[in-house]
């Protein structure tokens, strides 16, 4: 999966409008990176998103380490900020959906998921990095897979085999003749579509966000010639607006991801689906 | 992989197909975060949050205990004060009663003493009278003898003399009584 060498970003060249070159629109190639190390064909390589993923996890751990490794009853500023974030997820997401008794066990997972996803999203607007790790499907997919495995195993553990099957298919006698159809749809919806959408929702949001940012950034550079300069200004304002918007979307998508996680767990723990 | 297959692979590379190495790295990155948070950092902060909650609740409990104690002390104090008032009233009452008894006793004693004095006076007077009577009787005897002697010595016919003698006697008697008084 190496990038097409013929396609380069606008700011990697001196190409401007009226210079006789076309607009180097962002596309799938913008999400492919040459390996920093190793060979792309051998499945043994290391690229920018991997670097950002590992760096991001180190930043998240570092932040919480600085805040919580020697916590004080009377908190300092950093601890207070970290506590606010922790409390927001614990109370606002986990306790809200699962309740304090059932939810307590899943707090570390949900908190880790939220801050991990948020950090991966944040890379999108951090200078130099400027790429959301979650715009590579592998990262949301692995997280969604963890949640999926947890959800399925919890359902079996809680309801037994038949119970779990009823849970997955939304078994309801009152549906009568529609039941087989409804069960089939529910089965596919829950077991196959749900984990996919869970991952893709995050991936697509970040993918689209990054594409938009790229589009306006490239356009700002590309239009920087002649009468185009006026449009370049508009485009640059859009870059700033979209960056602010992305900042909001990044947090929102991380929140949605963990909220869905909790909803799935709640479905597994619920008596009747 | 042959170059031809390589190109084909690139052409069908969809952004929805996750490359294995990135899955692995994603898993590792998440496990790092999850492990650090779940094993060390969140238990750490939970302990402190619990401590803080206890500290706050402990403070409230302490304040409540102090208030209860203050209340009980106040009640105790009030009870003591009331008791002291009762005691004072009782003492005053007692003192009044004692005073009244004392006055009555003293009055009785005074009465008694007065009566004693009066009785003593009477006795004295009686004794004096008796002594006087005794002395008088002795004197009268002596005087009678003296008088008889004088009467014998003088003429019995002379009434005038007789009466003068008697008068003189009585005058003497009077003088003596005067003198002895």
- Nearest by CB to B42, from A58, A108, A133: name it: A108
Q: Minimal Cα–Cα distance from A1 to chain B, Å? A: 6
Q: Give the pLDDT of chain A (273 residues) as one tens digit per residue.
A: 334 444 555 555 667 777 777 788 888 888 888 888 887 777 788 888 999 999 999 999 999 999 998 888 888 899 999 999 999 999 999 999 999 998 999 999 999 999 999 999 999 999 888 899 999 999 999 999 999 999 999 999 999 898 888 888 888 888 888 888 989 999 999 899 999 999 999 999 999 999 999 999 988 888 888 888 888 999 999 999 999 999 999 999 999 999 999 999 998 888 654
pLDDT of residue A94: 94
pLDDT at B135: 82
Pairwise CB contact (< 8 Å): A143 & B48? no
Minimal Cβ distance to A142: which of B17, B23, B32:
B23
B23 and A138 Cβ atoms separated by less than 8 Å: yes
Question: What CA–CA distance (Å, rounded) separates A63 from B99?
Answer: 89
Query: How many other CB atoms are there within 10 angstroms of residue A144's CB atom?
Result: 26
Give A22's Cβ-side CA count (13 Å radius): 5
Is pTM, for the whole model, over 0.90? no
pLDDT at A201 (0 to 100):
95
Do residue B18 and residue A86 have CB atoms under 8 angstroms apart?
no
Cβ separation B38–A31 shorter than 8 A: no
Measured from the Cβ of residue A223, the count of other Cβ atoms closer than 10 Å reads 23
Q: What is the pLDDT of residues A188-220, one digit of tens each?
A: 998 999 999 999 999 999 999 999 999 999 888
Helix (H, G, I), strand (E, B) or coil at A17: coil
pLDDT for position B128: 85
Break chain A down into helix, strand, coil percent, rounded to 5.
75, 0, 20
Angstrom distance (rounded) from CA A134 to CA A52: 10
Task: Select the residue of A54, A64, A68 nearest B25 (Cβ to Cβ).
Answer: A54
* Sign of the dihedral defined by the CA atoms of residues A204, A210, A213, A214, in that order: negative
Q: What is the pLDDT of residue B9?
A: 46
Contacts of A67 in chain B (CB under 8 A): 41, 45
- B1–A41 CB contact, under 8 Å: yes
Give tens-digit pLDDT for A136-145.
Answer: 999 999 999 9
Question: B106 versus A11: which is more confidently predicted?
Answer: B106
Q: Enumerate residues 6+ apart whose C-beta is below 8 A from A228.
A: A16, A17, A18, A222
* Residues of chain A neighbouring B25 (CB-CB closer than 8 A): 50, 53-54, 138
* B59: closest CA of chain A, how far (Å): 14
Residue pairs between chains A and B whose CB atoms are closer than 8 Å: 126
Crossing angle for the helix pair A194-222 and A138-169, nearest 10 degrees? 150
Cβ of B23 within 8 Å of Cβ of A61? The answer is no
Neighbours of A215 (CB within 10 A): 18
CB contact under 8 A, B51 and A73: yes
What does the pLDDT read at residue A8? 53
How many other CB atoms are found less than 10 A from the CB of residue A217? 21
- pLDDT for res B33: 94
ipTM: 0.88
Mutation to test the B interface, candidates A51, A73, A104, A254, most B Cβ within 10 Å: A73
Please give the pLDDT value at position A9: 57
The pLDDT-based confidence of B154 (bands split at 50, 70, 90) is: low
**Which residue has better confidence, B126 or A8?**
B126
Q: Which comes out higher in pLDDT, residue B181 or B57? A: B57
Distance from CA of A139 to the nearest CA of B (A): 5
Residue A105 has which token pair?
Answer: 């066990």
Token pair for A259:
């909220």
Give the residue, B135 or A80, on which the prediction is more confident: A80
**Position with higher pLDDT, B28 vs B134:** B28
- The DSSP secondary-structure symbol of A18 reads T
Q: What is the pLDDT of residue A252?
A: 96
Instruction: Output the pLDDT for position B156.
Output: 54
Q: Which residues of A242-253 are buried (b: 16+ CB within 10 A; e: fewer)?
A: bbeebeebbeeb
Interface contact flag, B42 A68, Cβ < 8 Å: yes
Cβ–Cβ below 8 Å for B42 and A86: yes
| pLDDT-based confidence at residue B19 (cuts at 50, 70, 90) | confident
pLDDT value at position A12?
59
CA distance A144 to A204: 14
Q: Measure CB to CB from residue A68 to each of B17, B34, B45 and give the nearest one.
A: B45
Domain ranges of chain B: 18-180
CB contact under 8 A, B19 and A54: no
| Mean pLDDT calculated for residue range B120-130 | 87
d(C-alpha B44, C-alpha A61), whole Å: 14
Retrieve residue A64's tokens. Answer: 């919480």
Q: Is the Cβ–Cβ distance between A253 and A135 less than 8 Å?
A: no
Q: Which of B41, B43, B49 to mutate to test the interface with A (most CBs of A within 10 A)?
A: B41
d(CA A2, CA A237): 32
The residue that leads in pLDDT, B155 or A182, is: A182
pLDDT at B159: 63
Query: Three-state SS across chain B?
Result: CCHHHHHHHHHHCCCCCCCHHHHHHHHHHHHHHHHHHHHHHHHHHHHHHHHHHHHHHHHHHHHHHHHHHHHHHHHHHHHHHHHHHHHHHHHHHHHHHHHHHHHHHHHHHHHHHHHHHHHHHHHHHHHHHHHHHHHHHHHHHHHHHHHHHHHHHCCCCCHHHHHHHHHHHHHHHHHHHHHHC
Does B147 score more than 80 pLDDT? no
Residue A44 has φ and ψ, to the nearest 5°, of: -130, 85
pLDDT tier, B155 (very low <50, low <70, confident <90, very high otherwise):
low
Length of chain A: 273
Which residues are CB-neighbours of A127 under 8 A, at least 6 positions away? none
Residues of A in contact with B57 (CB under 8 A): none
Q: A139 and A119 in contact (C-beta within 8 Å)?
A: no
- Mean pLDDT (whole number) for B10-36: 84
What confidence score (pLDDT) does residue A197 get? 95
The CA distance from A3 to the nearest CA of chain B, in Å, is 9
């Amino acid at each position: 999966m190496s990038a097409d060498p013929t396609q380069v970003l606008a700011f990697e060249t001196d190409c401007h409008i009226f210079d006789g070159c076309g607009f180097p629109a962002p596309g799938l190639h913008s999400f492919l990176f040459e390996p920093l190390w190793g060979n792309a064909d051998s499945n043994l390589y290391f690229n920018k998103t991997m670097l950002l993923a590992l760096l991001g996890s180190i930043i998240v751990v570092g932040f919480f380490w600085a805040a919580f490794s020697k916590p004080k009853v009377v908190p300092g500023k950093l601890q207070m900020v970290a506590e606010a974030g922790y409390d927001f997820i614990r109370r606002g997401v986990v306790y809200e959906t699962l309740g304090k008794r059932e939810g307590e066990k899943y707090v570390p997972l949900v908190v880790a998921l939220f801050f991990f996803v948020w950090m991966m999203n944040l890379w999108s607007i951090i200078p130099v990095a400027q790429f959301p790790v979650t715009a590579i499907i592998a990262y949301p997919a692995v997280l969604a897979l963890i949640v999926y495995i947890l959800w399925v195993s919890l359902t079996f553990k809680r309801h037994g085999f038949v119970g779990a099957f009823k849970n997955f298919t939304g078994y309801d006698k009152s549906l009568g003749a529609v039941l087989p159809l409804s069960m089939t749809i529910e089965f596919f919806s829950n077991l196959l579509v749900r984990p996919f959408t869970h991952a893709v929702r995050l991936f697509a949001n970040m993918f689209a966000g990054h594409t938009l940012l790229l589009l306006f950034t490239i356009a700002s550079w590309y239009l920087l010639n002649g009468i185009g300069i006026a449009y370049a200004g508009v485009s640059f304002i859009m870059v700033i607006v979209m960056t602010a918007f992305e900042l909001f979307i990044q947090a929102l998508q991380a929140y949605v991801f963990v909220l869905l996680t909790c909803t799935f767990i709640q479905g597994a723990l619920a008596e009747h689906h | 992989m042959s170059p031809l297959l390589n190109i084909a692979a690139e052409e069908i590379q969809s952004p929805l197909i996750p490359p294995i190495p990135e899955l692995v790295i994603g898993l590792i990155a998440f496990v790092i975060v999850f492990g650090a948070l779940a094993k060390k950092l969140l238990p750490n902060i939970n302990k402190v949050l619990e401590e803080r909650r206890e500290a706050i609740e402990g403070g409230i409990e302490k304040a409540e205990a102090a208030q209860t104690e203050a209340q009980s002390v106040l009640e105790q104090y009030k009870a003591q004060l009331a008791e002291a008032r009762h005691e004072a009233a009782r003492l005053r009452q007692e003192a009044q009663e004692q005073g009244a008894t004392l006055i009555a006793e003293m009055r009785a004693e005074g009465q008694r003493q007065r009566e004693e004095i009066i009785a003593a006076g009477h006795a004295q007077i009686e004794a004096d009278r008796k002594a006087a009577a005794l002395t008088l009787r002795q004197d009268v005897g002596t005087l009678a003898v003296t008088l008889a002697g004088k009467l014998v010595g003088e003429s019995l016919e002379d009434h005038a003399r007789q009466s003068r003698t008697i008068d003189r006697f009585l005058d003497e008697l009077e003088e003596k009584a005067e003198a002895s008084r």
